[in-house]
């Protein structure tokens, strides 16, 4: 069964850092682009980053320079390092398997919630 | 950035009725438009890609159509499990955006 299992969400103070993890199983992780998508309470999803099979990365303007995506293919793992967190970063964070065309996200993790508050 | 505007915000229908959801793009997307369904407490689920292709396992009552800037998701006969929030998504110039969603309620 193809699945993504996430961890790492927590309560963090403004200006703090956090690392999210996403472990894949049931498919060949290294063959796929992967993305991070977040969703603030009551809002639509917001794409924030993807990483290609060649470790090329892209970021949304809202997180560029503060967030870093990276992957460990040997351990079927995806990570999101988040620095300089602000209250606007409070959201459910999802990892998702991503088509190389970027047309679609076909497998999603269960989500992990990040709260940024003093 | 391509802006996707979905309408209506909320659609109230009954099981057995037909639902028509709209997604309008600020730029020509050709047919590169994707639809997702999200139920409370769950991640979004892929329904339709390339405007009209159903993802694996999606029932044929889900019909996607449109091209350019105007797209439609039609659910031909609503089942109780279809009541959820629906989002459209695009990728243009390798930047990805989602619509704000349409809530389909009983």
Q: Does A40 touch chain B (CB under 8 A)?
A: no
What is the tens place of the pLDDT at every residue in B21-60? 999 999 999 999 999 999 999 999 999 999 999 999 999 9
Q: What's the pLDDT at A108?
A: 98
Q: Does B99 touch chain A (CB under 8 A)?
A: yes
Beta strands in A33-104 (DSSP E): 33-39, 46-51, 57-59, 67-72, 77-82, 91-98
Q: What's the pLDDT at A48?
A: 96
Q: Are A40 and A29 in contact (CB under 8 A)?
A: no
pLDDT surpasses 90 at A88 = yes
Q: What's the pLDDT at A2?
A: 96
What is the tens place of the pLDDT at every residue in A37-77? 999 999 999 999 999 999 999 999 999 999 999 999 999 99
pLDDT surpasses 90 at A101 = no
Cβ pairs A/B, distance under 8 A:
51
Q: Which of A101, A84, A105 is nearest to A37 (CA)?
A: A105
Q: What percentage of chain A exceeds 70 in pLDDT?
A: 100
Q: How many helices (H) and strands (E) does chain A have?
A: 0, 11
Q: What's the pLDDT at A100?
A: 84
User: Considering only alpha carbons, which residue of chain A is nearest residue B85?
Assistant: A44
Q: Does A41 touch chain B (CB under 8 A)?
A: no
**Chain A residues near residue B50 by CB distance under 8 angstroms:** 103
Q: Are A34 and A96 in contact (CB under 8 A)?
A: yes
Closest Cα in chain B, distance from residue A95 (Å): 10
pLDDT surpasses 90 at A22 = yes
What is the overall mean pLDDT for chain A? 96
pLDDT surpasses 90 at B78 = yes
Find the CB nearest A103 among B34, B44, B100.
Answer: B34
Task: Tell me the C-alpha distance between B98 and A40, whole Å.
Answer: 13
């Amino acid at each position: 069964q193809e699945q993504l299992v996430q961890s790492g969400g927590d309560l963090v103070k403004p200006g703090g850092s956090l690392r999210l993890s996403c472990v894949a199983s049931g498919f060949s992780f290294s063959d796929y682009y992967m993305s991070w998508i977040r969703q603030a309470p009551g809002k639509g999803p917001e794409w924030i980053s993807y990483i290609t099979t060649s470790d090329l990365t892209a970021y949304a303007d809202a997180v560029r320079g503060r967030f870093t995506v990276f992957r460990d293919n040997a351990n079927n793992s995806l990570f999101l390092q988040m620095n300089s967190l602000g209250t606007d970063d409070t959201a459910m964070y999802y990892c998702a398997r991503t088509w190389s065309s970027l047309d679609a996200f076909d497998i999603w993790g269960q989500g992990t919630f990040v709260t940024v508050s003093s | 950035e391509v802006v996707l505007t979905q309408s209506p915000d909320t659609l109230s229908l009954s099981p057995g009725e037909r639902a028509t959801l709209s997604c309008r793009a600020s730029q020509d997307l050709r047919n590169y438009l994707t639809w997702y369904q999200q139920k409370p407490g769950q991640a979004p689920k892929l329904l339709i890609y390339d405007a009209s292709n159903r993802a694996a396992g999606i029932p044929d009552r889900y019909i996607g159509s449109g091209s350019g800037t105007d797209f439609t998701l039609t659910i031909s006969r609503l089942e109780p499990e279809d009541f959820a929030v629906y989002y459209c998504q695009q990728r243009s110039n390798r930047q990805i955006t989602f619509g704000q969603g349409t809530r389909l309620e009983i």
